[in-house]
Structure 1
């Protein structure tokens, strides 16, 4: 084994000495790294600092340097992030698991206090607020009050966790979105800790339990989303096992043209990278175009890494990074450290940098056009002028196009009605509605939700100010929001409110119904709340294909609202514009939004703010705002402070429908059981391509007649108090009942049926997937899931894997997997298997009636193959499926029954 380089050096900054592991010094031994991508330099530093000849060896470091020869490597490394970030939807089950581990350790006769985070953990409560109230000045306070009432049991539990666990901090509700709080406050770019009486400096790195953790890469901080179970292992001192990734270089040149926003840029980047194919890869942005790209724009692009499929989208440190750190109130000493350290380590972006990459793309930003994305995938970019045609295609696919009248056609008189310009959008399904004193027709394409929401854009002052300026200009022209549009403004931090008020734009947004509804993730994660009853009835009665327009990053089927079939991602000013137009069939590049007070048509170009106007407004953003809002970020309001906290180190599980002791460690011994092959399993579901974790994991509203709804009612919870699946992630009984229960999921075992149903074999009876799984469990029948390409795309939802395990699924056999969900399946003891090239459920003519056996599970090797035997009435056939357990660490987790079982045994010395 090669000798690990001696690399410890010191750096003197303003009379303070920092120690660090020098990359240039390591290069003297390992080889030149000048052109190594900066993301891999960060990984190399991580290896140098954690080298122990066990989890990290000199061969691991050499492999990173040798990566430059081919732009790829098959080497597995152990990576230890500096910290962990959680949001409450994923954080609550994480803390439940930690509490459950303490109980299991106590049961094994060991000290439960050994279960404790070893790396700093920040949990930001941002996913629980829902848009119940909107369009009025009291909406924010009303929603906060409802949130606290609904979630008190969860918040009591998190308050206990904050007190019981060391190294664990909670940002209370009503503060902001975790990624924006991370960008504006938590992130440091260079981290420090005291070690052996000295201050050690190293890159700020993290993993997060939300896929949009990648947003922090805009600040030169390397981070990405992992499953909750993998994050728990990281916080408990385990390395994140990973293959050295391919790194795709994305060169940016030029500048955005007048009228083009950061949202337009990110949708273009997302489309390009999805076409390129970057799943499981790092993307690193470079090129001289970065010098004119604001930090907030970089963060917007980095945020969308899950949408373009990459592990992360990284921007290196430069002067713009320092400017943002100063603006957001970071201390001068920290800014000086970031500059000196980055330059000393070769992590600073220099003009003309051309690292070695696996492959590259190039975008001239002058070519970016105004765009949206939809109707159900973030990578499906649609130029603004093509929106009517894109919606017409939706109608055609739904078999309704033959009745769709001319798009955007003005009424012959071009006159004004009670709701603005009269357009011929009527269709046989159009519904007459009386609402708030107005009578109108609700037509296909009606925008029933217009939401300025999500970390993606609300962290960006330029697009937020643009929305406010557009609202002001619209009001000056006499335009109004259409009455069927549910409007909302949910900023990512309180600083947004401060600068909108400083620019005198809050009143303009309020006047169009974009009142503050909360600080947190709302519409983008399905917390859009109910539509007004009259609107919901019209949509349901007419089976109308209506729309939401939101400034978010996710628009998957069934995510925003179960009744809204088309969902379009857009910049905040376009969200306001569509609220005025009221229908996505309107061509905003040619058709008027409405008429002014003199009856003259008003076009989008008439009210779109100039870059100069936006820049003037953005100048209102100042450091004092950040220091004020983050000065007491962990304190919370009086209601939060009043929550009583137990002193016990082991949680005393109450009778609760929110928090329950999960069964994952039941019967667990000090040694793992032997793995058995799967024999005569039944197929629980057979799914197509691009099945997302939103399809698999419980999310959004709980239907009263669903298995989860029935369970809650049996336990005394009325439908009005169901709350969302996300809020009940600490209760496995609710979550397993909601697994595969998405209203848009399509199980190919049932012809034409949409929703979480399956065919129970051999009875042939159609029933809820949960109910079928319980019947199979009673009979002792193992289960498998069959799927197509890109299984598990989307957010890092640990319940997509936990629920799968609790339903009795032993294996998922798919054509390909998205990175995070594949890892999560292994972390819960479910083996991911990949059909051999050219084989699929279709080529094998599977119906779902087959029995499936899997041989070779006791003798697995990373990337090896296992025999899948498929039996039906006509006989047997077999395929050699690839085991997608990719690393030795993942294999160890699987053999122990899951990552938490492995960590628990390791922490008590049994593994």
Structure 2
């Protein structure tokens, strides 16, 4: 590596010498380091350390050091993260791709062992447990047994990967949620590696295959979510190509008031930043308010960066960081290194230090935060606790429009391949995406709630009934303040004789086993169990759609009366169709409020004024009567959350239990694919691939596969949740002898491209305007106009040699960093997506799979241009744009030709954002590019 600035120097820590790359080597170059945000100092060190004269030059270093906070991002840098983090849903297909790359390398005459993680890669299995059993002492045991039954083949594959690949470690199932395991154990804050016999110290950085990788930003570690394909490239030594971002400073002051929680704070922050608009930007928190913000609360805020749209939401290293490292059982020498390194590099937040320069600054006084929820469809749609009832009434009629009996009958006809149009389709399209509630007066046109008695005689459900109450997800389930708060509220509720309503499916999925330790130690587990919040598993459950089935009587009631029922969860995602296909409204809330709504049994209640229920003494019990004080919470934390709990739980974290260790594991450098497998298949990405890429082809004669509205999320695009029997994926499994009871979820079958491509664009809430009156994965085959499934249409278009495109509105691809939201369209034959705007991660993933992202011009959209989706499309000028490396601009012309020969021409911007991404696109995707580079290296 080059060292143009002579930055390499020694750092002494407790008698040990480390080599570091000092930032102050730039001070003599007119660089004011104090003005740089903390996050950009991390990037600057990365460039200094990785300067090689090719991917990183001295000029790159100086440009970043002299960052202009107000300038639009134009400078590309090559970022090399210290490690890669994965969870099993996204990690399995990543390892499948690496195994397929080994096969391709061998086929092309190279050494397959060159396909190997060059950076440390760690995978935590946390996304496969489902809430089949809940509300019983046996829930954890039964759900774990089912998890292993369903996923034995996947887990055996991961064990092969752990043995077959260097630098790859797997954390077994039932350990915790990936981001919490990262926070409590995997994160180093300051990383070290041996170089010529000397330890080199540098900031711990990472990319992860889950959008909530940003949770680690709370610990002062820079990292964010990327698609699996981009993470694979990082594992293989490729830099992450990025534009130097703008950085929004978020100043915190004061402290949280009595009654407010970290969840309320993060919902407030999410709403503020979404309104500001921070897509593609870094957000950095600073101010005196950090003095009163525990590390767990910081991690909760950082976790939600994807929800407020930022690349990251980072906090600087300070005394609270060191305190947490000690609490979580990190070695004393590591903590000493973190403090010494951060202070030496000017990365330590010290009282009275000058504030950095930011692109813009936002302010929040923590004392103004109010108890809140967010829903019913988006995490940024915050509603204060006192406005939830009116807000639900306001949106109820719109929710019902998408769930009446006529539509249910229509969808039943559609699944038989005989979908017809519905005159109410236009009404439904108005509520597409968004659906956020602006609290106000009750809607006078909202229908009266129907009541459906349950057959067991224990109560009734109606519109607004809470049928799922889940303490779940990485956001809150290891934050001691809200978890202890939930336990204390449960204890007081039980003491007053309250019970959860019988129609509520309650569950508790802790983020780590440490949570169980401190809930047991404080005596709160018994109270949570008494209300049905038994531990169902240690993993990401309801928040990702692994909520499991509702009872038959609840399902029957919902369908018979077209009820709009509700889930309340302590998660970060509540997009429509995500939590449970039978639940139309989903609200995010703090764990204590999740318990409260389980007691109330309905969202149609004002918890600030109306009682939760009646106590054993016959008197009404209000939320304020059982809400724990901050003093109670803090005293319990100090008594029951201890360092030895962390050290004990993580002592042998990679070993797993006997069930994990006894799994049969394949051997060898090349994976032995089983053609009969319905879980793991060799993907077709490298079939027919040559040593050199084919020239870029212009797109002509393309048809529209889907015409979509605003806020289409990766949940709408990527297969997720349960697999329906009548769906193309369900039929594929049935044809291979898989019974519906063994379908498992789409997430668990991400290693099988045949299942996943059939589930792409098949979300039950997707509304494709190409097939009005339908909901789900349907389109019209053109030019005939027949309604069919998107998968079947894609197969027919492929037989005809017709390329496909997607037309969409604003924020296309928002949500989780799902690589299958790009892989699926690629296998469907989609060549381009034309949208009003893209979410950052998904745009990058599209390029990474060789799909062209195009952006409509300002003020243009399909409606304003008069596009129906029935036109044939051509895209002109793409090759010239790419060949010039953007020198000639990024505009192409799109020509839409209708059946009568009339044409509509409009400009579109090529959203391939960096020169490195041009290379990925020209090679047909990032994996093909990496494979060819490794093959060339092997040949000299």
Q: TM-score range by the shorter chain?
A: over 0.9
2:175–2:512: 8 Å Cα contact kept in structure 1?
Answer: yes
SS at match of 2:822: helix
- Shift of the alpha carbon at 1:852? 0.5
**1:34 alignment counterpart:** 34
2:253–2:366: 8 Å Cα contact kept in structure 1?
Answer: yes
Cα distance in structure 2, aligned partners of 1:613 and 1:714: 58
**2:531 alignment counterpart:** 512
Q: Go from structure 1 to structure 2 and tell me whether the alpha carbon gap of 1:262 and 1:428 turns closer, same or farther (over 3 Å shift).
A: closer
**1:638 alignment counterpart:** 658
2:891 aligns with one of 865, 887, 896: 865
Query: For 1:406-555, what aligned pairs fall within 5 Å after superposition?
Result: 427=448, 429-435=450-456, 438-555=457-574
- Shift of the alpha carbon at 1:751? 2.0
Q: Go from structure 1 to structure 2 and tell me whether the alpha carbon gap of 1:69 and 1:572 turns closer, same or farther (over 3 Å shift).
A: closer
- Shift of the alpha carbon at 1:30? 5.5
Is 2:854 aligned against 1:802?
A: no
Is 2:605 aligned against 1:590?
A: no
Cα distance in structure 2, aligned partners of 1:398 and 1:201: 54
2:449–2:463: 8 Å Cα contact kept in structure 1?
Answer: no
SS at match of 1:341: helix
Query: For 1:29-428, what aligned pairs fall within 5 Å after superposition?
Result: 29=29, 31-68=31-68, 70=70, 72-352=72-352, 353-398=354-399, 427=448
**1:770 alignment counterpart:** 791
Query: For 1:699-714, what aligned pairs fall within 5 Å after superposition?
Result: 699-714=720-735
**1:624 alignment counterpart:** 644
Cα distance in structure 1, aligned partners of 2:689 and 2:369: 56
Deviations 1:513-568 (A, max 9, x none): 00000000000000000001110111111110010000000000100000101000
Cα distance in structure 2, aligned partners of 1:275 and 1:473: 38
- Shift of the alpha carbon at 1:874? 4.8
- Shift of the alpha carbon at 1:3? 8.2
Cα distance in structure 1, aligned partners of 2:689 and 2:857: 35
Cα distance in structure 1, aligned partners of 2:618 and 2:656: 50
Is 2:862 aligned against 1:841?
A: yes
Q: Go from structure 1 to structure 2 and tell me whether the alpha carbon gap of 1:71 and 1:40 turns closer, same or farther (over 3 Å shift).
A: farther
Moved more, 746-755 or 316-325: 746-755
2:685 aligns with one of 657, 661, 664: 664
2:711 aligns with one of 690, 695, 710: 690
Cα distance in structure 2, aligned partners of 1:519 and 1:874: 59
- Shift of the alpha carbon at 1:788? 0.3
**2:848 alignment counterpart:** 827
2:70–2:246: 8 Å Cα contact kept in structure 1?
Answer: no
1:875 aligns with one of 902, 910, 933: 902
Q: Go from structure 1 to structure 2 and tell me whether the alpha carbon gap of 1:69 and 1:99 turns closer, same or farther (over 3 Å shift).
A: closer
- Shift of the alpha carbon at 1:51? 0.1
- Shift of the alpha carbon at 1:877? 2.1
**2:813 alignment counterpart:** 792
Deviations 1:771-812 (A, max 9, x none): 111110111111000000100000000000000000000000
1:869–1:877: 8 Å Cα contact kept in structure 2?
Answer: yes
**2:701 alignment counterpart:** 680
Provide TM-score, normalisation by structure 2. Answer: 0.93
2:578–2:721: 8 Å Cα contact kept in structure 1?
Answer: yes
Cα distance in structure 2, aligned partners of 1:808 and 1:71: 38
Is 2:921 aligned against 1:894?
A: yes
Deviations 1:264-321 (A, max 9, x none): 0000000000000000100000001101100000000000000000000000000000
Cα distance in structure 2, aligned partners of 1:719 and 1:48: 55
**2:582 alignment counterpart:** 563
List structure 1 segments (4+ residues) > 6 angstroms apart after TM superposition.
Answer: none
- Shift of the alpha carbon at 1:400? 7.6
1:689–1:790: 8 Å Cα contact kept in structure 2?
Answer: yes
SS at match of 1:685: strand
1:491–1:520: 8 Å Cα contact kept in structure 2?
Answer: yes
SS at match of 2:200: strand
Is 2:629 aligned against 1:610?
A: yes
1:214–1:224: 8 Å Cα contact kept in structure 2?
Answer: yes
Deviations 1:322-342 (A, max 9, x none): 000000000000000010100
2:224–2:311: 8 Å Cα contact kept in structure 1?
Answer: yes
2:668 aligns with one of 620, 624, 648: 648
- Shift of the alpha carbon at 1:4? 2.3
Structure 2 runs not aligned, ≥5 long: 405-445
SS at match of 1:482: coil
SS at match of 2:647: helix
Is 2:763 aligned against 1:742?
A: yes
- Shift of the alpha carbon at 1:428? 5.4
Structure 1 runs not aligned, ≥5 long: 404-424
- Shift of the alpha carbon at 1:750? 2.1
1:72–1:358: 8 Å Cα contact kept in structure 2?
Answer: no
- Shift of the alpha carbon at 1:448? 0.2
Cα distance in structure 2, aligned partners of 1:338 and 1:622: 21
SS at match of 2:185: helix
Cα distance in structure 2, aligned partners of 1:621 and 1:69: 41
1:24–1:345: 8 Å Cα contact kept in structure 2?
Answer: yes
SS at match of 1:434: coil
Deviations 1:242-272 (A, max 9, x none): 0000000000000000111000000000000
**2:440 alignment counterpart:** none
Q: Go from structure 1 to structure 2 and tell me whether the alpha carbon gap of 1:30 and 1:86 turns closer, same or farther (over 3 Å shift).
A: farther
1:36–1:68: 8 Å Cα contact kept in structure 2?
Answer: no
- Shift of the alpha carbon at 1:397? 2.0
SS at match of 2:454: strand
Cα distance in structure 2, aligned partners of 1:597 and 1:119: 60
Cα distance in structure 2, aligned partners of 1:426 and 1:148: 45
Cα distance in structure 1, aligned partners of 2:336 and 2:842: 39
- Shift of the alpha carbon at 1:72? 4.7
- Shift of the alpha carbon at 1:377? 0.3
Cα distance in structure 1, aligned partners of 2:749 and 2:3: 51
Moved more, 865-874 or 899-908: 865-874
Cα distance in structure 2, aligned partners of 1:471 and 1:816: 44
Deviations 1:727-758 (A, max 9, x none): 00000000000000000011111223211111
- Shift of the alpha carbon at 1:215? 0.1
Query: For 1:569-580, what aligned pairs fall within 5 Å after superposition?
Result: 569-580=588-599
SS at match of 1:145: helix
- Shift of the alpha carbon at 1:390? 1.2
RMSD, aligned α-carbons: 1.4
Aligned residues: 886
- Shift of the alpha carbon at 1:222? 0.2
1:135–1:487: 8 Å Cα contact kept in structure 2?
Answer: yes
Cα distance in structure 1, aligned partners of 2:694 and 2:738: 39
Deviations 1:559-597 (A, max 9, x none): 000010100000000000000000001100000000111
Moved more, 874-883 or 833-842: 874-883
Deviations 1:323-362 (A, max 9, x none): 0000000000000001010000010012244110000100
Cα distance in structure 1, aligned partners of 2:130 and 2:852: 36
- Shift of the alpha carbon at 1:848? 1.4
